[in-house]
Amino acid sequence: MYASSDLPRSPDLEGAQAVKILIAGGFGAGKTTLVSSVSEIRPLRTEERLSELSAGIDDLTGVGTKTTTTVALDFGRITINSDVVLYLFGTPGQERFWFMWKELSVGALGAIVLADTRRLSDCFGAVDFLETRNIPFIVAVNCFDGADIYDEDEVRHALDIGTHIPVRHCDARDRRSSKQVLELLLEYLVATAMAAGEHPASSWPASRPR
């Protein structure tokens, strides 16, 4: 055994669990800002190399200039309890990249789509992606100064998403506001999981025919 007097406890990861929530949305919608405002650490950046990318990739931190394309994502951490750690991954704004990053989305508890009402169409890709993969999500409308404020139904209609999907305005710079968005997502996840448990045949999200 590795028990040693200078270790507070013998190394043990029994019961330890890391879970993730994706923060998706268009480039510049405030994803990293939201992660920063609720994370217990300054957001970290990690990179993955993607091999299947085609040529002709543009913008976003110069990835297009590299022959080997790496995709960066920023993430934060929230320690939930002694066993569970929650990671918030801000997906790269250029959807063409992270769509190929399967590891990022597989197993995610859920997602927050951050929308900028000045450029609502920027998050269509994220919505499509999450719907296709049955990852439950809510929409948070980041209220930039001077941006047109659409009400929640207008946003829902513009994004063509169901009425069961919560939409909430927020200010991603504000910790309290970002925390409320995170709570809203988790309440939604708990509620949908409970509903699915009671009615297994009609589990949400409307699943693909099996």
Partner 1 sequence: MTGGFSLDDDPGPLVRPFAVTRGRAGKHVHGLDILTLVMAARPEADSAGLDREYREILRLCEHRALSVAELAAHMNLLLAAVKVLVSDLIDSGYLIHQQPRPAMAKPDIQLLQAVLDGVRKL
Residue 106 binds partner 1, judged by CB under 8 A: yes
Stretch that binds partner 1, among 56-64, 151-159, 165-173, 193-201 (CB under 8 A): 193-201
Residue 201 binds partner 1, judged by CB under 8 A: no
To which residue do tokens 């439950």 refer?
Answer: 136
Residue 205 binds partner 1, judged by CB under 8 A: no
Residue placing its CB nearer to partner 1 in the complex, 131 or 154: 131
Contact 80, 13 (CB under 8 A): no
Q: Which of 139, 103, 137, 105 has its CA nearest to residue 120? A: 139
Residue 66 binds partner 1, judged by CB under 8 A: no
Residue placing its CB nearer to partner 1 in the complex, 10 or 54: 10
3-state secondary structure of 19: strand
Longest dimension (CA), the chain: 62
Contact 74, 101 (CB under 8 A): no
Cβ count near 36 (within 10 Å): 20
Residue 81 binds partner 1, judged by CB under 8 A: yes
CA distance 210 to 204: 14
Residue 60 binds partner 1, judged by CB under 8 A: no
Residue 87 CB, nearest approach to partner 1 (Å):
7
Tokens of 120: 């609502």
What is the 3-class SS of 23-36, one letter each residue? EEECCCCCHHHHHH
Residue 162 binds partner 1, judged by CB under 8 A: no
- Given 26, 27, 36, 45, the residue binding partner 1 (CB under 8 A): 45
Contact 27, 164 (CB under 8 A): no
Looking at residues 3 to 42 of the shown chain, list those that interact with partner 1 (rule: CB under 8 A).
4, 6-8, 11-14, 16-20, 38
Name the residues that contact partner 1, by CB under 8 A.
2, 4, 6-8, 11-14, 16-20, 38, 44-49, 70, 75, 77-81, 84-87, 103-104, 106-107, 109, 179, 182-183, 186-187, 189-190, 192-194, 196-197, 203
